[in-house]
C-alpha cells in the first residue's frame, strides 16, 4: 500500500496535471509558497466559497456580507496588535544558513515521539493479534512509558515557553533535545528571534514621503473598521454578523505542504457581534454550527476533530480549531475565536471614534463582544481534494484515478458524450447540453473511446456522464453513468434534470445543516 506521503505527492501532481493548481509564475521556476488555481481548481474554489457565503448570508437573516479593500490605513495594524505581536519565533542554522521556525522544530520533535509510540503499538498489535489492547499496552510497556513521559515533559516545557514568549527557553529546548538542522545535520544554532509576518509596501511617491502600508494578514480587520457603517446603514440589531471572503498575506517562513501554508491565501471570515457576557454561549453555538457545515459534505465524520488552544492569540479569551485529517496528519482548517471586545475597543482608542452599540432592550450602550469563525479557502480546498483522491483497482484488472468530490462542489457536474461523431448524435447531445447548461456546469466530449472519456471525467470528479447513442434518436433515452459506482442506467431525457439536481443542489446540504 502507498504511504500517505506518496499519496500526497501524487495528489499534488494530479492537481497540476488536471488543471486544479499550478505553481505561480512557473515559467520562471515558480515563487515560493504562492500558487495559481487552474480551470478546474477555480470552479471547485468558487463552489466552496458559495457554500460558505450562502450558509452565512442565506441561512441567517442577521448576517450580512462586505468586501473591504486589501490596503487599509496603517494605524489599523497598530491598533489590532499586528505590528507589535504578529510574530513567529525564528532560528537560523549557522552552517546551512537555513532559517526555521523554532516552534515548528519542536513540534516536529513532539511528532517524532508520537511516531515512536505508534511504531511500538503496531509491532505489538502484530505480535498479539486480535487480543491486543492498545491502552493496556501503553500503560504497561516500559519503552512506551518512557516515550510518553519524555513527550509530555517536552510538551509542558514548550507550551510554557511559548505562552511566556520565552525565546531563551525555546532555544534551550532545541539544544537539550539534540534537534539538528535537516540540511547540515549540525546543532550550530543562532539565538531565537521574533519575526513579523506582515508584508509591507509603500503608498504614494517617495518624494512626498510615502506612507508605509501593509498587505492585510487577516480579512477580519476590514470588518471591524466597518462595524459602525454596517450596523447603522443596515439597522442591524445585536446579535448580528458580518461575513467576508478575501485575500490575506503572510510572510510565512516555513512555507510547505502545498496550498496548506501559503504566502498569499484566501480567508472566509465572519465576525458575530454579541452582548458582553453572552460570548461563551455564542462561542459554543458557532463551534457546533461550523462543524455541522463541514460534516454535511459527507467526507467522513471521523476526519474532523476539535483542538482547543493552549496558547491564545493576543485578542482571544477562548479558541478552538476544527482540524481535518490531511495525508500529513490532523491539521487546522478553521479557527473559532472568542475575540472579546479587544478589536473594537482598540479601534475606538486609536481612531478617537466612539464604537458602541445602544441596546434598546437593556437601555444601555456597550462595546460588543465578538465571536469569529475564520476558515482558509485553500486549506478547505486541500482537505476536500485529499479526501476525494482515490486510486481504484477495477474488476477487469485496469485501474482508475477518481476524485470522489461532493457532487455539489465538483467543477463539472455533467459531461455530455455522443457515442460517435456522426449520424446526428452530436446535434442531439448539444440539444441536451443546452437544456442543462444554464443551471449546471456541463462539459461536452466527443473525442476517443467512451472508456477514455469516462476516465478523464473521473480524474476531475464529474459526478455524471451522459451518453447519447443511436437508440436515443428513437426513444429519447440516454445512458447515465455514475462516477463513484460506475453503474450505468438508461433513463428518459426528461428525467435528467431532476436526477442531477437532486445531487448537486446546495439546498439539500443547507437543509441538513439546519436540521
Ligand atoms: N482572523 C483570524 C485568523 O486569521 P488564523 O488562525 O491565523 O486566524 C484562520 O487563520 C485560517 O486561515 C486558518 O484556520 C487557515 O485555514 C487559514 N490560514 C492561515 N494562514 C494560512 C496560510 N499561510 N496559508 C493558507 N491558509 C492559511
Is the CB–ligand 1 distance for residue 504 below 6 Å?
no
State if residue 332 touches ligand 1 by the CB under 6 angstroms criterion.
yes
Question: Which CATH class name applies to 394-514?
Answer: alpha beta
- DSSP characters over 61-98: TTEEE----SB--THHHHHTTHHHH-EEEEEEBTTT--
CA distance 161 to 172: 10
Which three cell numbers, joined as nine digits, stand for 118? 505508534
Domain boundary assignment for the chain:
39-70+215-388, 87-196, 394-514
Check residue 4 and give its pLDDT.
77
Supply the residue whose CA is at minimum distance from atom 21 of ligand 1: 261
HSE, CB side, 13 Å, CA atoms: give it for residue 265.
27
Residue 164 pLDDT: 87
Residue 354 dihedral angles phi and psi, to the nearest 5°? -85, 115
Q: What is the pLDDT of residues 45-57, one digit of tens each?
A: 999 999 999 999 9
Residue pLDDT, tens place only, 206-251: 667 789 999 999 999 999 999 999 999 999 999 999 999 999 999 9
Of the pLDDT bands very low, low, confident and very high (cuts 50, 70, 90), residue 36 is very high
Contact assessment for residue 490 and residue 478, using Cβ atoms and an 8 Å cutoff: yes
Radius of gyration over every alpha carbon of the chain, rounded to an integer in angstroms: 27
46 CB contacts (<8 Å, ≥6 apart)?
Answer: none
b/e sequence 160-186, b meaning 16+ C-beta within 10 Å = ebbeeebbebbbebbeebebbbeeeee
Supply the pTM of this predicted model.
0.90
Cα–ligand 1 centroid distance for 460 (angstroms)? 27
- Torsion sign across C-alpha atoms 206, 211, 212, 213: negative
User: With bands split at pLDDT 50, 70 and 90, how would you rate the model's confidence at 515?
Assistant: confident
How much of the chain, in percent, has pLDDT values that exceed 70?
Answer: 99
At 153 the three-state DSSP class reads: helix
Which three three-digit cell numbers place residue 127? Answer: 505480535
Q: Domain 39-70+215-388 class?
A: alpha beta
Distance 415 CA to ligand 1 centre (A): 35
- For residue 334, report the distance from its CA to the centre of ligand 1, in Å: 7
Contact assessment for residue 323 and residue 291, using Cβ atoms and an 8 Å cutoff: no
Q: Please tell me the predicted confidence (pLDDT) of residue 6.
A: 87
Is ligand 1 within 6 A of the CB of residue 220?
A: yes
Distance 210 CA to ligand 1 centre (A): 30
Dist CA 156 CA 150 (whole Å) = 10
Distance from residue 160's CA to the centre of ligand 1 (Å): 23
Residue by residue, DSSP assigns 20-69 as SEEETTGGGT--TT-EEE-HHHHHHHHHHHHHHHHHHHTT-TTEEE----
Q: What is the pLDDT of residues 274-308, one digit of tens each?
A: 999 999 999 999 999 999 999 999 999 999 999 99
Q: For ligand 1, is residue 47 a contact (CB within 6 Å)?
A: no
**Taking residues 59-75, what's their average pLDDT?**
97
- Counting atoms of ligand 1 from 1, which one is nearest the CA of 261? 24
- pLDDT tens for each residue of 427-460: 999 999 999 999 999 999 999 999 999 999 999 9
Q: Is 380 within 8 Å of 48 (Cβ atoms)?
A: yes
pLDDT at res. 206:
67
Return mean pLDDT, the chain: 95
Index of the ligand 1 atom closest to the CA of residue 262: 24
pLDDT (average), residues 180-209: 91
Q: Which atom of ligand 1 is nearest to the CA of 380?
A: 16
For residue 263, the ligand 1 atom closest to its alpha carbon is 23
Beta bridge mates, 372: 271, 337
Domain 87-196 has CATH 3.30.40.230: yes
pLDDT at 134 over 90: no
Band of pLDDT at residue 102, cut at 50, 70 and 90: very high
Provide the pLDDT confidence category of residue 334 given band limits of 50, 70 and 90: very high
Amino acid at each position: 500500500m502507498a504511504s500517505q506521503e506518496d499519496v500526497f505527492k501524487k495528489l499534488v501532481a494530479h492537481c497540476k496535471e488536471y488543471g486544479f493548481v499550478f505553481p505561480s509564475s512557473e515559467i520562471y521556476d515558480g515563487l515560493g509558497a504562492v500558487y495559481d488555481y487552474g480551470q478546474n481548481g477555480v470552479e471547485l474554489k468558487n463552489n466552496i466559497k458559495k457554500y460558505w457565503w450562502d450558509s452565512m448570508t442565506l441561512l441567517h437573516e442577521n448576517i450580512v456580507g462586505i468586501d473591504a479593500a486589501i490596503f487599509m490605513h496603517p494605524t489599523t495594524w497598530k491598533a489590532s496588535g499586528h505590528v507589535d505581536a504578529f510574530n513567529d519565533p525564528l532560528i537560523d542554522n549557522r552552517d546551512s544558513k537555513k532559517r526555521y521556525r523554532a516552534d515548528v522544530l519542536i513540534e516536529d520533535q513532539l511528532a517524532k515521539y508520537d511516531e515512536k509510540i505508534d511504531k511500538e503499538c503496531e509491532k505489538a498489535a502484530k505480535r498479539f493479534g486480535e487480543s491486543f489492547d492498545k491502552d493496556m499496552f501503553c500503560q504497561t510497556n516500559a519503552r512506551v512509558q518512557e516515550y510518553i513521559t519524555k513527550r509530555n515533559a517536552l510538551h509542558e516545557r514548550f507550551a510554557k515557553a511559548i505562552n511566556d514568549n520565552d525565546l531563551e527557553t525555546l532555544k534551550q529546548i532545541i539544544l537539550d533535545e539534540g534537534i539538528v538542522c535537516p540540511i547540515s545535520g549540525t546543532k550550530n544554532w543562532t539565538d531565537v528571534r521574533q519575526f513579523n509576518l506582515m508584508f509591507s509596501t509603500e503608498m504614494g511617491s517617495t518624494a512626498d514621503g510615502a506612507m508605509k502600508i501593509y498587505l492585510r494578514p487577516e480579512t477580519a480587520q476590514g470588518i471591524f473598521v466597518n462595524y459602525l457603517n454596517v450596523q447603522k446603514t443596515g439597522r442591524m440589531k445585536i446579535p448580528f454578523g458580518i461575513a467576508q471572503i478575501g485575500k490575506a498575506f503572510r510572510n510565512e517562513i516555513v512555507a510547505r505542504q502545498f496550498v496548506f501554508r501559503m504566502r498569499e491565501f484566501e480567508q472566509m471570515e465572519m465576525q458575530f457581534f454579541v452582548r458582553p457576557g453572552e460570548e461563551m454561549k455564542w462561542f459554543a453555538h458557532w463551534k457546533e454550527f461550523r462543524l455541522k457545515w463541514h460534516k454535511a459534505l459527507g467526507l467522513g465524520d471521523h476526519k474532523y476533530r476539535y483542538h482547543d488552544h493552549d496558547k491564545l492569540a493576543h485578542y482571544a479569551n477562548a479558541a478552538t480549531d476544527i482540524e481535518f485529517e490531511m495525508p500529513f496528519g490532523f491539521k487546522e482548517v478553521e479557527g473559532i475565536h472568542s475575540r472579546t471586545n479587544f478589536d473594537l475597543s482598540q479601534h475606538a482608542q486609536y481612531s478617537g471614534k466612539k464604537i458602541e452599540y445602544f441596546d434598546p432592550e437593556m437601555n444601555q450602550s456597550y462595546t460588543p463582544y465578538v465571536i469569529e469563525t475564520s476558515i482558509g479557502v485553500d486549506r478547505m480546498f486541500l482537505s476536500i481534494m485529499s479526501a476525494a483522491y482515490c486510486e481504484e483497482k477495477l474488476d477487469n484488472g485496469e485501474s482508475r484515478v477518481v476524485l470522489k468530490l461532493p457532487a455539489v462542489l465538483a467543477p463539472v457536474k455533467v459531461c455530455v458524450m455522443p457515442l460517435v461523431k456522426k449520424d446526428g448524435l452530436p446535434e442531439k447531445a448539444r440539444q441536451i447540453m443546452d437544456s442543462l447548461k444554464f443551471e449546471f456546469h456541463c462539459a461536452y466530449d466527443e473525442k476517443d473511446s467512451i472508456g477514455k472519456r469516462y476516465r478523464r471525467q473521473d480524474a476531475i470528479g464529474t459526478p455524471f456522464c451522459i451518453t447519447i447513442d443511436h437508440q436515443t434518436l428513437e426513444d429519447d433515452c440516454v445512458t447515465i453513468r455514475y462516477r463513484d459506482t460506475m453503474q450505468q442506467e438508461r433513463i428518459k431525457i426528461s428525467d435528467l434534470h431532476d436526477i442531477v439536481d437532486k445531487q448537486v443542489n446546495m439546498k439539500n446540504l443547507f437543509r441538513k445543516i439546519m436540521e
